[in-house]
Structures are given as C-alpha cells and as structure tokens.
A and B are shown apart, each in its own frame.
Chain A
C-alpha cells in the first residue's frame, strides 16, 4: 500500500513537471517550431496508435479502419465548432450550408474560457460517439471475419467513408471535397496571454490513453487478451466473443474518432483526401515499431515516428555540399558507425534466435553493410564534397527502409508486449544485481 502511494506521488509529480515544461516551451521565444510540431502531432498520433493497439495488439483483431474513424471524428468536430458567421464563406459551394450553430462559440459566449473548454470536450466526445456508433453498426457483420478478411473489410469501410463524406448531397455539412477550416483549434486555448497550444493535445490525448490503460487492466481488458491468445478457449470459458470483439472495436473507434478531432484541431483544417489508407498504414507501423501489445511502446514510437518523418530526417530531403575535408571525415565516421551499428544489431538478434551462420538475412545484411562501408571509404578518398543521393523524397526512402528493418529483424518492436515501467523496473533490478555483485566482489578482495 505504501509503495503504491509512493508510485502515485511520483507519477503525479512527473505529470505536473511534464505539463510545466510544455507550458514553458509554448511560451518561450526561440523554441524550434519543429519541436512543437513533433510534440503536438506525436501526442495525437500516440492516441490513435494506442486505439489501434487496443484492437490489434490486445484483442487480436487485425483492423485497418483507423483512418476512416478518424475522418468521422474530424468532420464531426469541425462541423460542430465552426463559428456561425464564417459558415457562409466556408460553405460557399453549398449556399445555406453549415449546421447553423457552433457549440464552442455558443458556450464561450455564455461562460468564457471555461465554456470553451467545456464545448471542446463535448465536441470531442461527440466526435468519438459518432465514430463509435458507426463501429457498432458495422461491427456485427465485419467482426465475424477472420484475420486478413477483417483487415481488408475494415480498410474498405474506411474508403467508403471517405467517398461518402465527399458526396455532394452531404455537402451542406461536410463541404464536399472542399476544406473545412476556421473551427476551434489548440491555438484558441489561452490563460491570459499564456499559450496552451502544446499543453492541450497532451492533456486530451493523455486522459484518453489513461482510460485505455485502465480498461486494459480491468476484467474486460483481460477478456480481450484471452480472445487474442486463444479464441476457442476464451469462448469455452464463458467469454462472449461477439460481444467482446464488438466492445473492443467500438472503444477503439471511439478513441480513433477523438484523435481524428484532435488532429483536426492541430491542423486547423480538415479534408477527406488526407485520411487515406496510407494514414492507417503509418499508424500500423507505429504500433509495430512500439511493440504490438504495448501501450507505452505505441506512445514512444509515435513520437519517434513523427520526429523522424517531420524533423530529424528532414536533412535528407535537401542537397548538401560539405564545407571541407574534416566535415567529410566526420560525416563518413558517423555514417560508418550507424551502418556498423545496425549490422551488428541484426547479427546479434539473429544469434539470439540461434540462426547465425550461412542464412540469407545474415549474408544479405553483410553484403549491404560492406557495400555501404566500402562506399563510405571511397567517398572519403574521392575529391567530391557533395553528398550524393540527398534530394527531395530521400527522407521517406530511408524512413521506410528503417521500418522494414524493424519489421523483418526486430519484430517485437521497442518493447514487445511489455510496458515501460516494468521494463525499467527489471532493468533497475538487473543493474542492482550487477552492482551488488561487483560490490560484493570488491568486499571479497
């Protein structure tokens, strides 16, 4: 009990500290805007990834409909919060379009800042509910399907949704295939002159993820895991498959809907074309990188993913000529180390699986790594100062190669099906045993 309380205090302190840092970042001049982008988008993607993990990782249902439910959430949120006076100009293609009211605007006028928050919360929940309702309706026929059929059917549903939203008859609400904008976004959250644009995504997304964590550790979450591990046994032990699968599907879609709304708030605009199957694939890859069945893995992976795709790998998209030989040498050494590191990691992994030797992955890795290092040496010797290959689009190639390496060689992802606190705890215990041992050895001497 005492230990439990201690953990609670520590986590509360950590959360407050995190929010304080975010608040500081929001209101300090000179903070790289990319950092804020990564934090905001990462927090939102974390929620989608967690919602997908609930289905794919914890219930064992391979669904690819996430983008569709996000789309519903985004449109629901946007349509309900566009200020009344801007509705005519936004819906100019559909005269008389727009819902004619704005929940956030109405509540802000009535109650001020608290009204804004209340309005946003109401609209986020409505966004989730709309997505969840649809999931409830389609869940019955779709969830009877097995693995890949389920995947392709949910993918199909997402595509249908995208087409329906762009349907001209729905134009007065969805604005057809045109942009929706001008609705309440994160930038509208302020305390006095303090901006909360990064704090708010963390608050909303964090609360939702907390609910998912609570759910997973409840008796229903355990039932989901039983279905994932062995459906036949789960059913024989009294778990109603249809009911529980549907429940998982509906909850996952609920949070996907909310995250869609959050994404709309972040982007300050919504358009159906962005919610393509490619978006679902990206989220799936986040889940895989983090570890299927690990909430903390999904959260960490979404920040890594967004960080890599938006920021850290950006330099790959621009041509670059190095200044002098020293810069070239430093580049070559770093490059060589990265290549060698990845190769060694793959070898180590294969050895752990007991497969090291003359197998195809190892030979392939060796050839690729040797070629890369050979090129590296050649590059140092050559008089050329311009870095080759770097131009628009290279970032995504490197990025997808990294993803393939993870998928092929590090299938468990960052955390497998473990959670970060457990891993840290075990790492601590391991360190302690190591440390304790060496201390003992010292004593003996």
Chain B
C-alpha cells in the first residue's frame, strides 16, 4: 500500500513545490498592488524558452544565472510597462492590462518559437534517476521541496529582517501611508517583481525538467493553479502560498493517480471556489472591512 502511495506523494510534493515557487510571485504582488498578475504564468513560460535557447549554445553554469537574470528583467519590464502607468487607475483597468500583457507574451512566444513544442534541455545531476524506497524517480523530485523550503525561509528572513523587507510589509499594509512615510514605493514594487520573477525562473527549471517540453501556452495552467494556491493560503501570506502550493500539488497528483486526469484541473478550481465561499481570506489571510 505504502509503496503504491509513495510515487504519487513524491510527485505531488515535487509539483507542489513548483507551484509554491510560482505562487509566491502572485501573493507578493497581490499583497502590495492588489493585482492578480495574470502575466506571471507567461513569465514562467518565457523562462523555460530562454533556457531552451540558451542551453543550445552556452554551458550550463552560464545559462542558469542568465535565465534567472533575464526572467527578472522581463518581470520588472512588464511591471514598468503595463502596471506602473496605471497606478492611479481603477483596479479593473490594471487587471485588464495584466490580461493584455499575458496575451502579448503568449503571442510573442508563439511568433518567436514558431508555435512548436521545444525540447527542454536535460539538466545534469538534477535530472538523474535515483531510487527512493524502491521507487525510481529523477533527483528533481527530491530537490524541489528542499529547495523550495530553503528559498522560502531565506525570503521570509529577508522580509522580516531587512530594510527593504520592512518597506514591503509597510506597503502591503497601507500603500498610501507607506508612500507618505517616505518609502520609495516604486523601488519596493520593482523589488517585489524581482523576487517573484526570480522564483518563477527557478520554478520553471524544476517544472520543465519534469515535463520535458515547452509550448507558448504551457504556463497558463500552472500559473492559474499557483494563483489558486496563493488564494488558498491567504493572499499576501508567503507561508500560506507555500502550504497552498503543496496541498494542491499533492491532491492533484493523487487525482491523476486515480485516473481522472481531466478532473485534476477542475479540482483545483473547485477547491478555490469552496475556500472562497467558506473562508474568503484563505488559511492565513487577514480580514478587511470597508468603512461606510
């Protein structure tokens, strides 16, 4: 019995860690800008494509940092182009801009890559096969959760201990007051996108190592699921996003294990609706009431 469950559990934890890394980007941006960054899933895909093209010409020790840096640049660029000009606009406008940006990124990727699925390069060591309790899997399955937790601990330390972390906390609590207190809000937002995109780049390396091919629209679904994970954990809360990511990853893996693959996506959204109906603020979210 245990031997049967183990592969699904391992797979689920692995996917969950990848969702968690993407979900952090959503939850941090939402915490500060109150915006669902619909383009985040596409930034994740772009990171995959950068890896595909970079690895074809360059050695791995160059490509990995390059992928992370380029993804971060793209994330910040998206913020500057699509969100910053709309800072005073109604929330609906910013969300529409995010959807438009996602559309633009997908179409650009389709154009640049010719719309064909690209083979993701095999990363040595982490793609190697290993055997855990009699079950063969690639090393990435084991590395993902560990790496996720290490990165999250580092991120939480950053937010709790450093000055920029304090500024981020202030901005997510009260955007306007933070500005009045002399916090350079644009720097804080840029930094948020740096962290979010960087983690998405790492997440993409782990994710695509498992899935082997990249297509322009492949990021949309993991992106949405990561968003659900962020909502599940309580949007704005980083530990919440991580726990949400793991829960969704594991549940999904077991649902796929029972053969109802078409329902694994539906399950995620059903979970979202249930949590929104029962506890709209998620597991660790805070309650806000409007003043009349």
Residues of A within 8 A of B (CB): 56, 62, 138, 141-142, 144-145, 147-149, 151-153, 155-157, 159-160, 162-164, 166-167, 177, 232, 277-278, 281, 284-285, 288, 292, 360-361, 364, 391-394, 396-397, 399-401, 403-404, 407-408, 411
Contact = CB atoms under 8 A, between A and B. Distances in A.
B277 interface: yes
A397 B108 CA distance: 5
Contact of B91 (A142, A147, A360): A147
Given A360-B80, A397-B107, 11 more contacts: A62-B92, A141-B277, A152-B227, A232-B290, A278-B103, A278-B106, A393-B111, A404-B97, A404-B101, A408-B81, A408-B85
18 contacts: A141-B276, A141-B277, A144-B277, A151-B36, A153-B272, A157-B269, A160-B266, A163-B263, A163-B266, A167-B262, A278-B106, A288-B96, A364-B81, A391-B111, A393-B115, A407-B93, A407-B96, A408-B85
A167 B261 CA distance: 10
Interface of B: 34-36, 80-82, 84-86, 89, 91-93, 95-97, 99-104, 106-108, 110-112, 114-115, 217, 220, 224, 227-228, 231, 262-263, 265-266, 268-270, 272-273, 276-277, 280, 290, 292
B91 A281 contact: no
Contacts of B220: 277-278
Contacts of A149: 231, 276, 280
B110 A156 contact: no
A400 B100 CA distance: 7
Contacts of A56: 92
Contacts of A361: 85
Contact of A145 (B114, B268, B280): B280
Contacts of A151: 36, 95
B100 A285 contact: yes
Contacts of A288: 96
Given A145-B276, A156-B269, A407-B96, A393 B110 contact: yes
Nearest to A398: B107
Given A152-B36, A153-B273, A159-B266, A281 B114 contact: no
Nearest to A316: B111
Contacts of B91: 147-148
A403 B95 contact: no
Contacts of B92: 56, 62, 147, 292
Contacts of A397: 104, 107-108, 111
Contact of B89 (A138, A156, A284, A411): A411
Contacts of B277: 141-142, 144
A157 B89 CA distance: 28
A147 B288 CA distance: 14
Contacts of A403: 100, 103-104
B224 A155 contact: yes
Contacts of B36: 148, 151-152
Contacts of A163: 262-263, 265-266
A156 B265 CA distance: 9
A56 B95 CA distance: 12
A194 to B, nearest CB: 40
A142 to B, nearest CB: 7
Contacts of B115: 392-393
B273 A167 contact: no
A144 to B, nearest CB: 8
B96 A156 contact: no
Contacts of B100: 285, 400, 403-404, 407
Given A232-B290, A393-B114, A408-B85, A285 B262 contact: no
A339 to B, nearest CB: 18
Nearest to B35: A148
Nearest to B36: A148
